[in-house]
Structure 1
Amino acid sequence: MSAEVKARLIAEARAVGFDMARVCRPDAVGHVPAGLAGFLAESYHGQMGWLAERTEWRANPAALWPQARSVIVLGESYTPEHDPIEIHRRPDRGAISVYAQNRDYHDIVKKRLKRLARWLIAEAGPETEVKVFVDTAPVPEKPLGQAAGLGWQGKHTNLVSRDLGSWFFIGSVFTTLDLPVDAPEVDHCGSCRACLDACPTGAFPAPNQIDARRCISYLTIEHHGPVDEALRPLLGNRIYGCDDCLAACPWNKFAVSAREIRYAARADLVAPRLGELAVLDDAEFRAFFSGSPVKRIKRDRFVRNVLYAIGNSGDQSLINVAQGLCEDPDATVADAAKWAVKRLREVAIELE
């Protein structure tokens, strides 16, 4: 019976919008505890103190919900139609990570997960219990994805799929239903180190290890307060997240196009002008990024990022924009503005 339910489940997952669905046991990630402990011991998590909380759940999904017998791990493509690296050749424009160039995937994926979970209960019986997760709970989704055969954790620590490449979201459905499991995926990176070499800040101390304190995604999204001055020039024009290690992966040649139109990039977020973004006030920021994951970092942190990009741009036409923010009420924004002005003046002197 469970095999028949699983077969219909895979078909239903595809019907609701997922591109892949695989199954593993909640206790199938025995390698996680040592890796997590080492990550935390090195303080690689930076200001993300929540990663040090509920480590017993992060290290062992079976402890999160002991009644669960199966984990359905799902992948949904968000492969971009444009080259995400092209923007770095336009220093007067801001680079926003591909996943954040339209609607917030958390909302979209969670609705799909709930729809699939309701279907599973209707199919298997009301005694079947489910819980759904997408990025917002202490669930090691990438190790679960590898255990279920969805993909493997590449040297950049992200999940890579032979079918979807690097560009896909992960969600999971925990259930009390005992479903047949899939074979775990094995590492297919070989000697390739393209993702490691692509990182602008050297955030990988070794293959399969990441120091978030040097990761541009962390610095532009999670890190509050001023960014270390030594790292600011390395941010380039990246103002929200970074796609360099994902874009470098050769497995992307097998990536499938995103089926969800709400993942397609908004035209005004592919290459927004830094000068226009820097002057957004709080209300304008919230309106412009309505429905976008960018909204969650709020205006001050975002404008801080934009000012670092302005300082890196070398564009003298932006110096007045930066000067106008040197007395911003937010101390971090003001600091970023003064740094940008200093950098642009230094470039001007070099050009004389």
Structure 2
Amino acid sequence: MPGVVVSTERSSRARDKLKAFLLSEAADKGFDICRIARPDSIPDAPQRLKEFIDAGRQGTMDWMAETRDRRADPRVLWGDVRSVILFGMNYGPDEDPRVVLAMPDRAAISVYARNRDYHDVIKGRLKEIATRFAARAGEDVKVFVDTAPVMEKPLSMQAGLGWQGKHTNLVSREFGSWLFLGSMFTTAELAPDEPERDHCGSCRACLDACPTNAFPAPYKIDARRCISYLTIEHKGVIDRELRPLIGNRIYGCDDCLAACPWNKFAASASEMKFHAREDLKAPRIAELLELDDSAFRTLFSGSPVKRIGRDRFVRNLLIAAGNSGDAALIPTCESLTNDASPTVRGMAVWALARLMCKEDFHRLAARIADEADPEVRAEYEVAMEVV
């Protein structure tokens, strides 16, 4: 009927205008790419997530199992959602972040954490866009950045931002493996974009770059072996077999991202977005080991590093110290055997067992009778057998 055709055309034009408004707002707020996916566009996600969790590959991230249903389907998270808008922001570094790995006296901090917490930056900008969009569209909106149970990477692939590479992270032909992601759910019906196809081909550079062999197969990751998980999410003692493989990576790991050949097409992020603080590009391990809780909080104010707390941070530093071969770190490491945190004390013992000569370490280990924590005692006992 003619009236129906006219109404449909008007509705289509209205959706096109809303989409154009979104793209303009996204660019204005510093996003490099913005695309739209349908909320029902990831039907395989529930089964893939179930397999991941059933295999225990989430490690101690219990919240992944607790939020599984909401994470696997946007419509379970919010029943009224009709469109999912995905935003990407380039955070490409201006140099290969792996350079610092050849400097054993320096600490390697993941590129994304070398300045302000991107969660706060991106969420603030998304809220501005959402407010303006809701007012114009007369529709409800919700914004999410990583911390909510949203499978942003498969949704981003369906929206056309990129594809999930063999390292399970999003890869873009324009920005390589360096995209921060955020999403906006809305009750507005918007035309979805075309999904991106996989362009990895036979390449396995990211898989071969992993120091701990955290990929049991292409497109599958075992968090329990991933350095990013171990140094950030994992709260307890890190497995002894993995400690030497961590090297000087004290917060996260960029190896699989940096190895991606598609990065050659990615420009570095502009300074108005995410550029590294000079003091966090390659800080000295010796100086960071001296941080007490107050100094740690001051140095990492506004940084995602602050969220893991001083004790876990020093745990990571002590692993790096033990891998450094730098005997100059012995006095500082020895002082940390008296730290209030059992985790810190235990890692100090491990570091000293690798840095001290046999005689000196055995003299140190004589204090085991004064150690009440069983895990710290175990570190002494195991070290005594191998030193």
* DSSP 3-state at the match of 1:85: helix
Return closer, same or farther for 1:59/1:266 CA change in 2, 3 Å cut-off: same
Q: Do residues 71 (structure 1) and 84 (structure 2) align?
A: yes
Give 1:43 deviation, angstroms: 0.3
Per the alignment, residue 368 of structure 2 pairs with none
Per the alignment, residue 158 of structure 1 pairs with 169
Give 1 or 2: higher helix fraction. Answer: 2
Q: Which amino acid counterpart does residue 270 of structure 1 have in structure 2?
A: K
Contact 2:293 2:310 survives alignment (8 Å): yes
* DSSP 3-state at the match of 2:356: helix
Q: Do residues 186 (structure 1) and 178 (structure 2) align?
A: no
* DSSP 3-state at the match of 1:325: helix
Q: Which amino acid counterpart does residue 336 of structure 1 have in structure 2?
A: M
Unaligned runs of 5+ in 1: none
Unaligned runs of 5+ in 2: 1-13, 361-387
Give 1:261 deviation, angstroms: 3.0
Per the alignment, residue 59 of structure 2 pairs with 46
Which string of whole-angstrom CA distances, capped at 9 and with x for unpartnered residues, describes residues 76-133 of structure 1? 01111122000001000000000000000011000111111112123223xx100000
Give 1:152 deviation, angstroms: 0.5
Per the alignment, residue 160 of structure 2 pairs with 149
Q: Superposition pairs for residues 48-127 of structure 1, below 5 Å? A: 48-125=61-138
Which string of whole-angstrom CA distances, capped at 9 and with x for unpartnered residues, describes residues 57-94 of structure 1? 11111111111110000000111112200000100000
Q: Which amino acid counterpart does residue 190 of structure 2 have in structure 1?
A: L
Contact 2:140 2:188 survives alignment (8 Å): yes
Q: Do residues 25 (structure 1) and 38 (structure 2) align?
A: yes
Structure 2 counterpart of 1:295, from 281, 306, 319 = 306
Higher relative contact order (CA 8 A, sep 6+): 1
Q: Do residues 37 (structure 1) and 71 (structure 2) align?
A: no
In the TM superposition, structure 1's runs of 4+ consecutive aligned residues that sit over 2 Å from their partners are 259-262, 345-349
Give 1:9 deviation, angstroms: 1.3
Per the alignment, residue 20 of structure 2 pairs with 7
Per the alignment, residue 325 of structure 1 pairs with 336
Q: Superposition pairs for residues 193-212 of structure 1, below 5 Å? A: 193-212=204-223
Q: Superposition pairs for residues 200-239 of structure 1, below 5 Å? A: 200-239=211-250
Q: 2:163, 2:119 → 1: CA distance?
A: 22
* DSSP 3-state at the match of 1:173: strand
* DSSP 3-state at the match of 1:58: helix
Q: 1:296, 1:348 → 2: CA distance?
A: 39
Q: Which amino acid counterpart does residue 124 of structure 1 have in structure 2?
A: A
Per the alignment, residue 29 of structure 2 pairs with 16
Contact 1:103 1:262 survives alignment (8 Å): no
Contact 2:248 2:321 survives alignment (8 Å): yes
Aligned length: 347
Return closer, same or farther for 1:59/1:107 CA change in 2, 3 Å cut-off: same
Give 1:259 deviation, angstroms: 2.9
Contact 1:314 1:347 survives alignment (8 Å): no
Q: 2:315, 2:226 → 1: CA distance?
A: 16
Give 1:348 deviation, angstroms: 11
TM norm structure 2: 0.88
Q: 2:25, 2:272 → 1: CA distance?
A: 20
Q: 1:54, 1:306 → 2: CA distance?
A: 32
Give 1:346 deviation, angstroms: 5.5
Cα RMSD after superposing both structures: 1.4
Give 1:225 deviation, angstroms: 1.6
Q: 1:320, 1:173 → 2: CA distance?
A: 51
Percent of aligned positions that are identical? 61
